[in-house]
Amino acid sequence: MGEDKALKLFLGRPLIQRVVDRLQPIADELIVTTNHPADLSFLNLRLIPDLKPGRGALGGLYTAIASAAHPLVAVIACDMPFASAKLIQLSVEIMKKENVDVVIAKNDEGYEPLHAVYRRETCLPAIESAINADQWRVVSWLPQVNLRVLIDEEIRSADPASLAFWNVNTPEEFARAEGLAISQSTPGKARD
Protein backbone atom coordinates (compact mmCIF):
# COMPACT_ATOMS: atom_id res chain seq x y z
CA MET A 1 0.00 0.00 0.00
CA GLY A 2 2.93 2.32 0.62
CA GLU A 3 1.39 3.62 3.85
CA ASP A 4 -0.01 2.33 7.13
CA LYS A 5 -3.31 0.65 6.20
CA ALA A 6 -4.74 1.28 9.66
CA LEU A 7 -4.42 5.03 9.16
CA LYS A 8 -5.45 5.18 5.50
CA LEU A 9 -8.69 7.12 5.19
CA PHE A 10 -11.68 4.92 4.42
CA LEU A 11 -14.71 7.03 3.58
CA GLY A 12 -13.00 9.98 5.26
CA ARG A 13 -11.94 8.23 8.49
CA PRO A 14 -8.99 5.99 9.36
CA LEU A 15 -9.70 2.38 8.40
CA ILE A 16 -8.94 1.18 11.92
CA GLN A 17 -11.67 3.51 13.24
CA ARG A 18 -14.18 1.78 10.95
CA VAL A 19 -13.12 -1.64 12.29
CA VAL A 20 -13.32 -0.42 15.90
CA ASP A 21 -16.77 1.10 15.29
CA ARG A 22 -18.06 -2.16 13.82
CA LEU A 23 -16.95 -4.18 16.86
CA GLN A 24 -17.45 -1.69 19.69
CA PRO A 25 -21.14 -2.59 20.23
CA ILE A 26 -20.31 -6.20 21.15
CA ALA A 27 -16.97 -5.74 22.93
CA ASP A 28 -16.46 -5.67 26.68
CA GLU A 29 -12.92 -4.47 26.02
CA LEU A 30 -11.07 -3.25 22.94
CA ILE A 31 -7.29 -3.48 22.67
CA VAL A 32 -5.14 -2.46 19.73
CA THR A 33 -1.77 -4.10 19.33
CA THR A 34 0.65 -1.66 17.75
CA ASN A 35 4.31 -0.79 17.83
CA HIS A 36 3.38 2.83 17.02
CA PRO A 37 0.95 3.81 19.80
CA ALA A 38 1.37 7.56 19.24
CA ASP A 39 -0.10 7.16 15.74
CA LEU A 40 -3.27 5.59 17.13
CA SER A 41 -3.80 7.63 20.28
CA PHE A 42 -6.91 9.21 18.68
CA LEU A 43 -8.72 5.90 19.24
CA ASN A 44 -8.68 6.40 23.03
CA LEU A 45 -8.19 2.65 23.52
CA ARG A 46 -5.55 0.51 25.20
CA LEU A 47 -2.62 0.43 22.78
CA ILE A 48 -0.23 -2.44 23.46
CA PRO A 49 3.18 -2.89 21.79
CA ASP A 50 4.31 -6.42 20.88
CA LEU A 51 5.17 -8.48 23.94
CA LYS A 52 7.29 -10.71 21.67
CA PRO A 53 8.96 -8.14 19.39
CA GLY A 54 10.01 -9.14 15.93
CA ARG A 55 7.67 -12.14 15.72
CA GLY A 56 5.28 -10.74 13.11
CA ALA A 57 1.61 -11.70 13.10
CA LEU A 58 2.15 -14.56 15.56
CA GLY A 59 3.68 -12.12 18.04
CA GLY A 60 0.76 -9.76 17.50
CA LEU A 61 -1.73 -12.56 18.15
CA TYR A 62 0.16 -13.49 21.31
CA THR A 63 0.13 -9.86 22.45
CA ALA A 64 -3.61 -9.49 21.86
CA ILE A 65 -4.53 -12.65 23.74
CA ALA A 66 -2.04 -12.08 26.57
CA SER A 67 -3.21 -8.50 27.10
CA ALA A 68 -6.91 -9.27 27.20
CA ALA A 69 -8.69 -9.22 30.54
CA HIS A 70 -11.41 -11.64 29.48
CA PRO A 71 -11.32 -15.42 28.91
CA LEU A 72 -12.61 -15.24 25.32
CA VAL A 73 -10.76 -12.99 22.89
CA ALA A 74 -11.80 -12.02 19.38
CA VAL A 75 -8.88 -10.96 17.21
CA ILE A 76 -9.57 -8.87 14.11
CA ALA A 77 -7.07 -7.40 11.66
CA CYS A 78 -7.15 -3.63 11.21
CA ASP A 79 -7.41 -3.95 7.43
CA MET A 80 -10.79 -5.74 7.33
CA PRO A 81 -13.34 -3.03 6.51
CA PHE A 82 -16.25 -5.45 6.73
CA ALA A 83 -15.30 -7.19 9.97
CA SER A 84 -18.48 -8.80 11.23
CA ALA A 85 -19.76 -8.36 14.77
CA LYS A 86 -22.49 -10.91 13.99
CA LEU A 87 -19.91 -13.49 12.97
CA ILE A 88 -17.90 -12.86 16.14
CA GLN A 89 -21.06 -13.23 18.24
CA LEU A 90 -21.88 -16.51 16.48
CA SER A 91 -18.33 -17.74 17.08
CA VAL A 92 -18.57 -16.92 20.79
CA GLU A 93 -21.88 -18.78 21.05
CA ILE A 94 -20.36 -21.83 19.36
CA MET A 95 -17.29 -21.64 21.59
CA LYS A 96 -19.39 -21.59 24.75
CA LYS A 97 -21.83 -24.28 23.58
CA GLU A 98 -19.18 -26.69 22.29
CA ASN A 99 -16.44 -25.84 24.80
CA VAL A 100 -13.75 -25.44 22.14
CA ASP A 101 -10.58 -23.33 22.25
CA VAL A 102 -10.71 -21.62 18.84
CA VAL A 103 -13.57 -20.84 16.47
CA ILE A 104 -12.17 -19.96 13.08
CA ALA A 105 -13.11 -19.93 9.41
CA LYS A 106 -11.17 -21.76 6.72
CA ASN A 107 -11.26 -21.27 2.98
CA ASP A 108 -9.25 -22.54 0.00
CA GLU A 109 -6.34 -20.31 1.04
CA GLY A 110 -6.31 -21.57 4.65
CA TYR A 111 -7.48 -20.41 8.05
CA GLU A 112 -8.64 -16.87 8.87
CA PRO A 113 -6.79 -16.35 12.18
CA LEU A 114 -7.26 -12.58 12.17
CA HIS A 115 -11.05 -12.76 12.33
CA ALA A 116 -11.50 -15.48 14.91
CA VAL A 117 -12.23 -16.11 18.59
CA TYR A 118 -9.75 -17.66 21.03
CA ARG A 119 -9.96 -19.10 24.54
CA ARG A 120 -7.19 -17.28 26.39
CA GLU A 121 -6.40 -20.02 28.93
CA THR A 122 -5.55 -22.71 26.36
CA CYS A 123 -4.41 -20.66 23.37
CA LEU A 124 -1.86 -18.48 25.12
CA PRO A 125 0.45 -21.34 26.20
CA ALA A 126 0.12 -23.00 22.78
CA ILE A 127 1.10 -19.77 20.99
CA GLU A 128 3.98 -19.19 23.40
CA SER A 129 5.19 -22.73 22.77
CA ALA A 130 5.14 -22.09 19.01
CA ILE A 131 7.10 -18.86 19.46
CA ASN A 132 9.65 -20.62 21.69
CA ALA A 133 10.00 -23.34 19.03
CA ASP A 134 10.84 -20.59 16.50
CA GLN A 135 7.69 -21.13 14.47
CA TRP A 136 6.49 -18.15 12.47
CA ARG A 137 3.19 -19.13 10.89
CA VAL A 138 0.30 -17.57 12.77
CA VAL A 139 -1.60 -20.89 12.63
CA SER A 140 1.34 -23.19 13.43
CA TRP A 141 0.05 -23.91 16.94
CA LEU A 142 -3.58 -24.72 16.07
CA PRO A 143 -3.06 -28.53 16.22
CA GLN A 144 -2.33 -28.16 19.95
CA VAL A 145 -5.83 -26.89 20.80
CA ASN A 146 -9.44 -27.94 20.33
CA LEU A 147 -10.39 -26.25 17.08
CA ARG A 148 -13.84 -25.60 15.63
CA VAL A 149 -13.95 -24.58 11.98
CA LEU A 150 -17.01 -22.60 10.93
CA ILE A 151 -18.95 -24.18 8.09
CA ASP A 152 -20.02 -22.14 5.06
CA GLU A 153 -23.67 -22.12 6.13
CA GLU A 154 -22.77 -20.63 9.52
CA ILE A 155 -20.61 -17.96 7.93
CA ARG A 156 -23.32 -17.02 5.41
CA SER A 157 -25.94 -16.77 8.17
CA ALA A 158 -23.90 -14.04 9.89
CA ASP A 159 -22.15 -12.57 6.84
CA PRO A 160 -24.51 -12.95 3.84
CA ALA A 161 -22.38 -10.69 1.63
CA SER A 162 -19.27 -12.84 2.35
CA LEU A 163 -17.10 -9.80 3.04
CA ALA A 164 -15.99 -10.28 6.66
CA PHE A 165 -12.63 -11.85 5.82
CA TRP A 166 -11.73 -9.45 3.04
CA ASN A 167 -8.59 -7.54 3.92
CA VAL A 168 -7.54 -4.68 1.67
CA ASN A 169 -3.96 -4.94 0.45
CA THR A 170 -3.78 -2.72 -2.61
CA PRO A 171 -5.09 0.74 -3.53
CA GLU A 172 -7.45 -0.96 -5.99
CA GLU A 173 -8.90 -3.25 -3.30
CA PHE A 174 -9.22 -0.29 -0.98
CA ALA A 175 -11.17 1.71 -3.58
CA ARG A 176 -13.38 -1.29 -4.35
CA ALA A 177 -14.11 -1.76 -0.63
CA GLU A 178 -15.05 1.91 -0.27
CA GLY A 179 -17.43 1.55 -3.22
CA LEU A 180 -19.07 -1.48 -1.64
CA ALA A 181 -19.38 0.28 1.70
CA ILE A 182 -21.05 3.25 0.01
CA SER A 183 -23.46 1.04 -1.91
CA GLN A 184 -24.37 -0.86 1.27
CA SER A 185 -25.14 2.33 3.16
CA THR A 186 -27.43 3.60 0.40
CA PRO A 187 -31.11 3.59 1.48
CA GLY A 188 -32.84 0.41 0.35
CA LYS A 189 -29.65 -1.63 0.28
CA ALA A 190 -28.93 -4.45 2.70
CA ARG A 191 -26.29 -3.62 5.29
CA ASP A 192 -23.34 -5.95 5.80
Distance CA 190, CA 102 (A): 30
Distance CA 173, CA 191 (A): 19
Strand runs labelled E in the chain: 9-10, 13-14, 31-33, 46-48, 72-76, 102-104, 106-107, 110-111, 115-119, 147-149
Distance CA 17, CA 38 (A): 15
pLDDT digits (tens, 9 = 90+) for 129-163: 999 999 999 999 999 999 999 999 999 999 999 99
Which residues pair with residue 103 across a beta bridge?
A: 117, 148
Query: What CATH number does residue 173 fall under?
Result: 3.90.550.10
Q: What is the pLDDT of residue 1?
A: 60
For the chain, which residues score pLDDT lower than 50? 189-191
149: phi then psi, degrees, rounded to nearest 5: -90, 130
Task: Look at residue 192 and tell me if it is in a domain.
Answer: no
Element containing residue 177 per DSSP (H, E): helix 171-185
Task: Look at residue 118 and tell me if it is in a domain.
Answer: yes
pTM of the model as a whole: 0.92
Task: Look at residue 1 and tell me if it is in a domain.
Answer: no
One-letter amino acid identity for 163?
Answer: L
Task: Look at residue 172 and tell me if it is in a domain.
Answer: yes
Q: How many domains does the chain have?
A: 1
Residue 46's domain comprises: 9-185
Task: Look at residue 26 and tell me if it is in a domain.
Answer: yes
Task: Look at residue 143 and tell me if it is in a domain.
Answer: yes
Task: Look at residue 160 and tell me if it is in a domain.
Answer: yes
Q: What is the pLDDT of residue 187?
A: 58
